[in-house]
Structure 1
């Protein structure tokens, strides 16, 4: 029954032509979408870039409260995390990074009101009071301050206005989940100064259970505040000042335990681990003899329960001077991020592996852009410069096999890995870039684009690994290296008609090399990894058909991925080590379809479909040949859709309904493509129904997220040497109600 429903939704979303054609088009058309992907406000259909835009209202309706909620909402987009409030793993078209260390940087950039969010500690701050989010696919560098080779998530918050506004919203759902948001603002000095304050509080009781203590686990608890001021002293000067604060005090994510060591020949698979048929039985165990046998996905035995404490602060100034035919834009930002997270990593009742993550990050960025601002000019251009000064300090500790300490005279044994290991280090990065892009209208219908960028990252790395609180020093290293590269963009866009355009682009993206930020015991593990580069070729079509009641955008792409940075085991000078390494080249190609259809005046459907083939070239790690394997987090097929319906009521107001669904085919979480380290295809469905008053000020309703209560894996950490996999599971079904007010 469910498969028939989904097939019907897909057919309806992507084949609406006949239904649309049967109804009069008078007064019915898809809404225009304005994006700033090219640093100027443009119709989505005029931008020769694969971009998906979401309004703040649509994200609220789908329950998106942080970047994780964007998973699978746009073609080719995958977002997951094994942590509660940090280190999101963001992939676009298979391009991203699985490293969780705080000095790493993703191939997908996150921008909030034009400010690049560098630290993975800060990328899961709450989404609230949002104007719009744009998902840009493919390398971004000739228009953006920080270069990214996978794409960008461009978030714009609600700006202050001279008119007084006040908004409040409350949600209550399963597991005593509460989500409170509010904003208030207006003019302080008429025509000169407007302010806005917005906040969010999210709290729930947790959806997992600890059989050892009887406590609930995986509780969410955070708050966020943003203050904005828009200063317009003259008609030619605009300055947006912002201050934001975020604090997370919820639980550290507690994964499910899966034992791997077979205790009988019959349970032993070809790889030496337990076969899937014996998972969760007495014939498998971990290194300490533990196995979780009750089959409950949301219950576990944990000797300790940790917290993921995150504190963030940021301040920015976005100033624009209109200078006749050009504008000068300055974006200045300063921020810091602190994390203190204790994690019962082994997910069992013994002290086998526990980690305390301690990290601090400080960032200052300055971006300057000079850009044309005449919308009718044949030549539109942007010239920019970017500077970033970032410092990352890490002092994390891994307490390994503590329960075995009584068996050793000294209370620890390095030879047997029975000790507390720490690796304090400081990484300082100074990044410089100059970039520019020009779009020239060759004819009334043909536009050519050229862009160029030079980037250089000067990184210094002061590293020390030690045991037992510094009693034993294992390794020290001081290194400095500059990573630089040229990148660029070429493109052509042709308007076939007023409603149909085609484009072809070539982009070269690059991500700088760096230093491994995890526990290292040999100098080979700290050899710097090199830059990775990506040559991206894309063709696309953007169209509005059937009297603009159907928006249909298509794209096809090919990526040549070179020196890809991979978090894996590698062979260095005859030694096998766990590092961030450069794999051989990879190939990525695929196609995407996005459609928006206005079926009737009251019914609209949005849908997206992505086909992806992403495989390694020649890649050998620790003697294992991964050549031809699929890249992690790169499903062959993803699909998403949302149907929105409104029905006016005779007495006033209207009924509102939304149904959304997303599908992802099988994904692998590891380079080996081992079947146990994967998740089969899964559908996730949500729905919302509500009522809105005639004046639009009051809205109330109910919602269901993960309607069919699907249970699936969102992350897997495999600790083969200790005989266990750690499975991060999705949130269970959530049923709730909401009330919203706008003034």
Structure 2
């Protein structure tokens, strides 16, 4: 990786500049992580630290402000609150946040955020998501990296809507910022927490802060979280009598193991040097290791609907009595292997081109997921791997009239994931992906204020090299290996590509109190985006059925493609704020967000390869019109916030999955939405919060089949979502300590897992209930317990439509009911 010399020197320059600052420099309003500590909420803050929501200090606008004073739709959670609720993964915060949901692939093992219908369904690891995620001010370019372990967190902030004028990487959907606890001078402190739960969950988390003289401090923190299998594999149950398990002399081995295991280990080491009262220099290193089972997909039988031209234009879930292989334009059975090639492998007990009742094409009737069962041949309890490494240098200095922040970061993400692509005990086909993503970023930022004017400005550089290999795999004896005539050896049809990105930008934002009670905000970012892309596709010798093999190329499958391009983009914001009375904020504005274009990496699936014109796709541009209010009652006894927004998209990047693969199309889109949040403190002991959102989103003229266009709804976008949380603190001491109990309810309406919006791609809504209790004593000892998914609801989270490959869908389910108990000690 080559980095321009001026950018290599940026952090060194910041260090030299910071070191020259006199200790007597005046204090300006600091950004997060800088010299002066944020002013804590007053004693009348409506909710305690242990609650999920509350009037806490945030840095959403790169300066410390109370949440209720920020004219942005922001959700914030303290680290202590999340730990009390038993939250261990980043994506879990979606259930507490209106308009935010979790989307992803890989059987729930690869997840990402979706905000207000802005999402990325492409499973290509080289592609960045439209919702940016930061840990400790460092951008996480890997989609897999968004599903990180949470530990030693100060708080989490979720900002909704386009974010381009203040944070490093421009994002159309919004961002999530995970802010860690930082070292402190002159104090020895820390905590340790141990949890045991269902499925033999064992979690150890802890941190220690050590002073090293007057100018140095060290903070070490880590977490180990593991649990046994969640889903029982009853392989080969569900196969109709007479249906084959393999299409050659042998199948994959070993096979049929239980799934859902996880073993995650993460650590962070921070060294703080404070050479003067005006300078902080912090060096951070972190690592994350995640070992998982094969992706725990299940399978459901579906029936594709075909029009008179043989195009798949719909689909339904198969009933227990359904025998049609596909539904023709006349509603009758449609069987035509020349149009739907995998129909040639269909098991038809009657020999007339009909499937077995309720089965997929291979003769598998899905087993009962209600019993936490699945039935799969391609399944190992210890298979998938993800590794993340990060090193960061933070330099913060008070320059007198301004605050300087420099963040220099290097990261690497390595991933090797495989899954059973037909989700059944039949040896049909598999999927695999392996990636190696390296990033370097440098941000320089200045904050200052003078009278009625406050401002932020800076520059940002990001380099990403993403190497990825993915494709359908044809293990020995699989249906796909039979297509290639290689059932005895198997074969790996793999797409291999490298995407390099160099993004450089300058940005700034000002806030001007131009009249009493009125504030005007104006910001912008200018971006130069350079990309280079290389793509090849070929059949590789199968060395192991449980690996993505790219060592020996047997023959090419799709034309190779290479391209370079440079794009100039811009983002901007204009907003007016009005505070007519104490405790009331009204705001309205327009915000322009952009996400760079990228490249398709279509898998080989037997259909025509993309043309050179279809491989690159354009940037998406989102113009947001948003207004809202934030009301804080007397004594902060209650808060009421509302947001109303209209999104107008040009060239929305919509990923359409069909025929065992997919590609991104640029289409126009629009979204209208409303979000509401309310909190109340009833007496001194009861805290209550409710949230709700409505999202009406449409992607216009999406091509759902060759020559067939429809208006559709974006993926993973429920129209309605709502939540409630309640927490009660017992007013008298219990066993010498404070006891509180609480619960969280979250609801999402139905949504589609694929942009085509077929009936077979629609997931039902769900309501989840979580309960928790905690007790703490003045001695530092804490006890807590939690139950998540109290009603043991089975709800689908992600899916893939494979109707033309196996007459089935791949679907993953959220975690069943879990419980845990914890003991901790703070010192």
Do both share a fold (TM > 0.5)?
yes
Q: Residue 68 of structure 1 contacts residue 80 of structure 1 at CA under 8 Å; is this kept in 2? A: no
Provide the residue aligned with 2:446 in structure 1: 370
| Partner-residue secondary structure (3-state), 1:178 | strand
Return the structure number with greater relative CO, CA threshold 8 A, min gap 6.
2
Which of 281, 297, 310 pairs up with 1:255?
Answer: 297
Shift of 1:196: 0.6
**CA separation in 1, counterparts of 2:497 and 2:313?**
40
**CA separation in 2, counterparts of 1:408 and 1:252?**
24
Provide the residue aligned with 1:478 in structure 2: 562
Provide the residue aligned with 2:402 in structure 1: 326
Provide the residue aligned with 2:265 in structure 1: 223
Provide the residue aligned with 1:76 in structure 2: 99
Provide the residue aligned with 2:359 in structure 1: 285
After superposition, the Cα gap between the structure-2 partners of 1:596 and 1:626, relative to the gap in structure 1 and judged at 3 Å, is farther
- CA offsets 1:487-536 (integer angstroms, 9 cap, x no match): 10000011111211101111000100011134256351652000100000
Provide the residue aligned with 2:338 in structure 1: none
- CA offsets 1:691-718 (integer angstroms, 9 cap, x no match): 21134x1111322110111111001111
| Partner-residue secondary structure (3-state), 2:598 | coil
Q: Residue 737 of structure 2 contacts residue 778 of structure 2 at CA under 8 Å; is this kept in 1? A: yes
Shift of 1:93: 0.7
Provide the residue aligned with 2:739 in structure 1: 655
Which of 301, 304, 320 pairs up with 2:375?
Answer: 301
Shift of 1:737: 1.2
Which of 144, 157, 164 pairs up with 2:180?
Answer: 157
Which of 150, 158, 162 pairs up with 1:127?
Answer: 150
Provide the residue aligned with 1:704 in structure 2: 787
After superposition, the Cα gap between the structure-2 partners of 1:409 and 1:223, relative to the gap in structure 1 and judged at 3 Å, is closer
Unaligned segments of structure 2, at least 5 residues: 1-42, 48-53, 236-254, 305-311, 324-354, 542-552
2:716 is aligned with 1:633:
yes
Q: Residue 85 of structure 1 contacts residue 125 of structure 1 at CA under 8 Å; is this kept in 2? A: no
| Partner-residue secondary structure (3-state), 1:547 | helix
Provide the residue aligned with 1:147 in structure 2: 170
Q: Residue 317 of structure 1 contacts residue 331 of structure 1 at CA under 8 Å; is this kept in 2? A: yes
Shift of 1:629: 2.5
Provide the residue aligned with 1:554 in structure 2: 642
Provide the residue aligned with 2:4 in structure 1: none
2:191 is aligned with 1:104:
no
**CA separation in 2, counterparts of 1:410 and 1:428?**
36
After superposition, the Cα gap between the structure-2 partners of 1:207 and 1:293, relative to the gap in structure 1 and judged at 3 Å, is closer
Provide the residue aligned with 1:730 in structure 2: 814
| Partner-residue secondary structure (3-state), 1:431 | strand
| Partner-residue secondary structure (3-state), 1:584 | strand
Q: Residue 261 of structure 1 contacts residue 287 of structure 1 at CA under 8 Å; is this kept in 2? A: no
| Partner-residue secondary structure (3-state), 2:601 | coil
| Partner-residue secondary structure (3-state), 1:497 | coil
Shift of 1:197: 0.6
Question: What is the aligned-residue RMSD (CA, Å)?
Answer: 2.6
Provide the residue aligned with 1:8 in structure 2: none
| Partner-residue secondary structure (3-state), 1:146 | coil
The 5-angstrom pairing of residues 409-448 of structure 1 reads 411=486, 419-448=491-520
Shift of 1:66: 1.6
| Partner-residue secondary structure (3-state), 2:579 | strand
Provide the residue aligned with 1:691 in structure 2: 775
Which of 380, 395, 414 pairs up with 1:338?
Answer: 414
Q: Residue 316 of structure 2 contacts residue 759 of structure 2 at CA under 8 Å; is this kept in 1? A: no
Q: Residue 28 of structure 1 contacts residue 601 of structure 1 at CA under 8 Å; is this kept in 2? A: no
Unaligned segments of structure 1, at least 5 residues: 1-25, 263-268, 571-575
Q: Residue 484 of structure 1 contacts residue 512 of structure 1 at CA under 8 Å; is this kept in 2? A: no
After superposition, the Cα gap between the structure-2 partners of 1:186 and 1:270, relative to the gap in structure 1 and judged at 3 Å, is closer
The 5-angstrom pairing of residues 442-457 of structure 1 reads 442-457=514-529
After superposition, the Cα gap between the structure-2 partners of 1:282 and 1:600, relative to the gap in structure 1 and judged at 3 Å, is farther
After superposition, the Cα gap between the structure-2 partners of 1:677 and 1:397, relative to the gap in structure 1 and judged at 3 Å, is closer
| Partner-residue secondary structure (3-state), 2:434 | strand
Pairs aligned (count): 700
**CA separation in 2, counterparts of 1:279 and 1:98?**
30
Shift of 1:294: 4.8
- CA offsets 1:232-275 (integer angstroms, 9 cap, x no match): 1111211221100000112132111112359xxxxxx9957653
After superposition, the Cα gap between the structure-2 partners of 1:530 and 1:650, relative to the gap in structure 1 and judged at 3 Å, is closer
TM-score (norm 1): 0.89
After superposition, the Cα gap between the structure-2 partners of 1:628 and 1:516, relative to the gap in structure 1 and judged at 3 Å, is closer
- CA offsets 1:661-707 (integer angstroms, 9 cap, x no match): 10111111122222222222211001112321134x11113221101
2:458 is aligned with 1:384:
yes
Provide the residue aligned with 1:44 in structure 2: 67
Provide the residue aligned with 1:177 in structure 2: 201
Which of 801, 804, 807 pairs up with 1:721?
Answer: 804
**CA separation in 1, counterparts of 2:742 and 2:797?**
25
- CA offsets 1:582-614 (integer angstroms, 9 cap, x no match): 342111011111112111111111221111111
After superposition, the Cα gap between the structure-2 partners of 1:434 and 1:409, relative to the gap in structure 1 and judged at 3 Å, is closer
After superposition, the Cα gap between the structure-2 partners of 1:407 and 1:204, relative to the gap in structure 1 and judged at 3 Å, is closer
TM-score (norm 2): 0.81
Shift of 1:142: 0.5
After superposition, the Cα gap between the structure-2 partners of 1:493 and 1:294, relative to the gap in structure 1 and judged at 3 Å, is closer
- CA offsets 1:284-321 (integer angstroms, 9 cap, x no match): 33333323245655212222324220111000011112
